[in-house]
Amino acid sequence: MGPEKLWPDPEPDNSFLERCLREKGYQRVGGLDEAGRGPLAGPVVAACVILNETGDQSRFVDSKKISATMRSRLYRELQGTGAIIGVGMVSETEIDRCNILQASLLAMKKAVLSMSLEPDFLLVDGNQRVPVTIPQQTLVQGESKSASIGAASIVAKVFRDALMDRYHQQYPEYNFQQNRGYATLEHRRAIAKHGPCAIHRQSFKCVREFIGKT
């Protein structure tokens, strides 16, 4: 006989998993997600969110599926409705040292450890467990299955975009305000022309080939 399932199939809405876990005695369910695994520049940022049980949680969906304006609005709403939020960040230097997967998991761990109240269960986007002792469940495409993970994806995205806006002021030639460090054609051409800057990930293709060439 296999292990007991934490919830039955199917999952009818994006708060269903949290409700099932609360019925099993878990009262502080934290959703975990990250932003910035793919870019050529900047840190990877993770967020952990324990939602307030009251209110409409259906709007907390994958950050990539909503506008920047809506992400900012929902981020402010989370801050104003008693959600418990933790954010963790791992720099481009550490990404180069340990690889992007391990850096993403480390950022998630930092997000959990930064929370004012520790979760008693984690719903983790993806298929990799976070290196903490808290009980957890991984969920591929978790932003579409869990409001907590959706909220975490919004927080991580808003936080990282704000960082890239600041980097844009420091390195305007790369247009980080627009591309957020991702490998757009314009960004790759800027690297070829100017060479990598201090926040580029030197272990990534499209960056390492231009190190020392300008």
Q: What pTM, to 2 d.p., does this model score?
A: 0.92
The answer as to whether 82 is a domain residue is yes
**pLDDT for 196:** 97
The answer as to whether 191 is a domain residue is no
Average pLDDT over residues 51-73: 89
**pLDDT for 128:** 96
pLDDT in tens, 95-140: 999 999 999 999 999 999 999 999 999 999 999 999 999 999 999 9
Q: Considering just the CA atoms, what is the radius of gyration of the chain in Å? A: 18
What is the percent of the chain where pLDDT is above 70?
93
The answer as to whether 6 is a domain residue is no
The answer as to whether 193 is a domain residue is no
Angle at 47 between CA 117 and CA 64, to 5 degrees: 145
Q: Label residue 6 by pLDDT band (50, 70, 90).
A: low
Number of folded domains in the chain? 1
**pLDDT for 85:** 98
**pLDDT for 201:** 98
The answer as to whether 4 is a domain residue is no
Highest-confidence segment of 41-55, 69-83, 153-167: 153-167
Q: Label residue 72 by pLDDT band (50, 70, 90).
A: very high
What is the percent of the chain where pLDDT is above 90?
84
Q: Which residues contact 102 (CB under 8 A, 6 or more apart)?
A: none
Contact of 30 with 150, CB cutoff 8 Å: no
Q: b/e map of 61-79 (b: 16 or more CB within 10 Å)?
A: bbbeebeeeebeebbebbe
The answer as to whether 202 is a domain residue is no
Looking up residue 34, the CATH number of its domain turns out to be: 3.30.420.10
Q: Label residue 57 by pLDDT band (50, 70, 90).
A: confident
**pLDDT for 137:** 97
